[in-house]
Amino acid sequence: MKNPTNHPIHQALGSRWSPYSFDPEREVSTGDLAGIFEAARWTMSSYNAQPWRYIVGVRNRTQAVWEQVFESLLEGNQAWARNAPVLALGLTEALFEHNGKPNMAYQHDLGAASASLTFEASTRGLVVHQMIGIDREKACDLFHLTGTIQPFTGLAIGYVGSADSVGEEYAKRDLNKRERKPMDEIIIHGGF
């Protein structure tokens, strides 16, 4: 799917979308997963702190982890994410490792890493649906997370599936027209 951009942008950005329907039969190769998480690894970060971590479950390869990530999703996300061959949690480290002080950019930096991961996935024909709807407490319990590294987001990764693989509500969302705010609403002072 090509998004209707007003100005030319790279195809990986222009084709990016977050579907609800995933093909449950199509596995994601180890090489593709290594590539997309390598893209996350090389993302810029404040003080080069790299405050992101991921827990990755791949159906039929690391099934127990996949199931634990699935259990960590809120019920509304479980309804459609059950078909994703790869489920991950994005975690954050809130303190700088070099001095123990609060890292005010840790959430931003996880977002940047997950965006890099998403764009690399787009170049490989994959889709990523990021979600904030996770049960953080349950994820901490299931994965024995303590301290300053905490779950923050979920990610479903795979190939686009057919609309009949999800409920009608989610299938309709996948068919909705893709819209974004106009440029003059996101650049509020100055410009080019």
**Both structure tokens of 47:** 């003080």
DSSP character at residue 160: B
Instruction: For the chain, list the domains and their CATH numbers.
Output: 11-162 (3.40.109.10)
Q: CA–CA separation, 185 vs 113, rounded Å?
A: 25
- Taking only the tens of pLDDT, the chain with its 192 residues reads 566 788 888 888 888 888 889 999 999 999 999 999 999 999 999 999 999 999 999 999 999 999 999 999 999 999 999 999 999 999 999 999 999 999 999 999 999 999 999 999 999 999 999 999 999 999 999 999 988 999 999 999 999 988 888 888 887 888 788 788 988 899 999 988
Q: Residue 57: beta bridge partners?
A: 87
pTM, whole model, 2 decimals?
Answer: 0.93
Closest by CA position to 19, among listed 37, 1, 40: 1
Q: Do residues 95 and 148 lie in contact, with contact meaning Cβ atoms separated by under 8 Å?
A: yes
